Amino acid sequence: MAVWWVFQNQSYERSRDGGYIWAPLVDKAGHKKSHWEVLQQVQVGDLIFSCNKRSIVATSTAKSNSYVSPQPHPDDAKDWTGDGRRIDVAYVDIPTPLPVDDLIDLFPLLQVEGGPLQVDGRGKMGYLFEVAPKAALEILNRLDKTIDIDSLINAGQTSNAGHVSTTVSRSVNARVGQDKFRDDLMTLWGGRCALTGVDQKELLIASHTKPWRLSNDKERTDKNNGFLFESRIDKLFDARLVSFDDDGCMLISPHLSESNLLALQIKKDQKIRMNLNNDQKDYLKFHREQLFGKLGEK
């Protein structure tokens, strides 16, 4: 299941009422846009965050793959000509919208290539963007503070939503699994970053050693397959720019420059705050041998 971010300012109300997202095939000059073409990658069951006026105001689940469709609303004709791609979706409103500025600690994850935000935190010019899995799970955690999960599932069973309860439940199960993983790491590391000791909860991220997409169900929730890192260290670890040996000593990739080390205030002699067990060492061996220093690889 992929997660997407759609910018819907002027189009939100009509898209919400009609149960769709839609983008033209080409602009008035006949040019294709990558942020429109990406609609072709959305699959049934994918989750979508609707951003309106710089807040996440709804989630939706894709009920169809994309298909060529005329403009679904007369107001679309004011801005575009010709057909577009449409995806039928089931919207679930967020009672208390989540401001984008409240996600500032996730900005590094949302600013990656293909992500929805620019380096200054503003939204990119465009329509639909993919959300990194780690950022998506954190956003789901925060949305759960404003909408009861049971209500979310029940809303997915309404006539407007169609048959989406299974896919919503799957999203919830992923979120619950991530919740357990984070809670276990918070306990294991005493609510502090495993490397720096930072203890402000909002800055701490549950970081997988063997990535979620490469892990089986057991590994995804195994507390030994991860560290509680502050967002700065998490980003370096996730980007394969740092790793750790069996003694917990930090290893630094040659791709990370001395100037950036200095700017990030990273000390080369930093070490994990407690001794590692054998399972943690096995996961770190995978990280060192399969990921560390290998930039640009999937």
Confidence check: pLDDT of 149 > 50: no
Whole-angstrom distance, CA of residue 274 vs CA of residue 195: 9
Place of tokens 């089931």: 90
Mean pLDDT is lowest, of 133-147, 155-169, 211-225, 257-271, for 155-169
Share of the chain above pLDDT 70, in %: 85
DSSP structural state of residue 123: B
User: Are 228 and 188 a contacting pair, CB within 8 Å?
Assistant: yes
Confidence check: pLDDT of 298 > 80: no
What count of Cα atoms within 13 Å lies in the side-chain half-sphere of residue 17?
5
> What are 92-105's pLDDT values in tens digits?
888 889 999 989 98
**What average pLDDT is seen over the chain?**
84
pTM of the model: 0.54
Confidence check: pLDDT of 237 > 90: yes
The whole-number pLDDT of residue 297 equals 52
From the number of C-beta atoms within 10 Å of its C-beta (0-12, 13-18, 19+), residue 258 rates as exposed
How many C-beta atoms surround the C-beta of residue 223 within 10 A?
20
User: Are 212 and 225 a contacting pair, CB within 8 Å?
Assistant: no
Confidence check: pLDDT of 56 > 90: yes
**Per-residue tokens: 97:** 């919208």
Confidence check: pLDDT of 173 > 70: no
Domains, the chain, ordered by start: 3-175 (3.10.590.10), 189-291 (no CATH)
Whole-angstrom distance, CA of residue 291 vs CA of residue 68: 40
Place of tokens 């008035």: 28
What's the rounded mean pLDDT across residues 139-143? 79
